[in-house]
Structure 1
Amino acid sequence: MGAVVACTMAPSQVPKLTETALGGCCKVCQEPEEKGKRFLICGHSLCMYKYYHIRCLSPEQIASDQQQGEQCWYCPSCLCRGCFCDMDDNEIIMCDGCDEAYHLYCLSPPLTSVPKGHWYCQFCTEAKAREGEMKKYEKRMLQLHRKRHRAMVKSDKYVGMGLLLDALAKLEEEEAIAEKRKRDEEAAAAAMEKRKRDEEVAAAAMEELRGDEEAATAAK
Structure 2
Amino acid sequence: MENEATIRRRILNICQDYARSIVSIVRELSLMIDGVVGGEEKEAKEHYEKMLSLIEESNEVKHRGIEEVASVGALLISREAFLTLIFEFSKIADNAEGAGYRLMGLIESGWKLRRLEGISEFASMVLDEIVKLREIMISLNFNYEKALEMAKMVEESERMIDPVHRKLDLAVLSSGLPPPALLLARDVIERIENISDLGIDIIDAIRLIVISP
Q: Which has the higher strand share?
A: 1
Task: Using CA pairs under 8 Å that are at least 6 residues apart, name the structure with larger relative contact order, 1 or 2.
Answer: 2
Counting helix residues as a fraction of each chain, which structure ranks higher? 2
TM over 0.5: no
Smaller-chain TM-score bracket: under 0.3
Q: Which structure would you say has the larger Rg?
A: 1
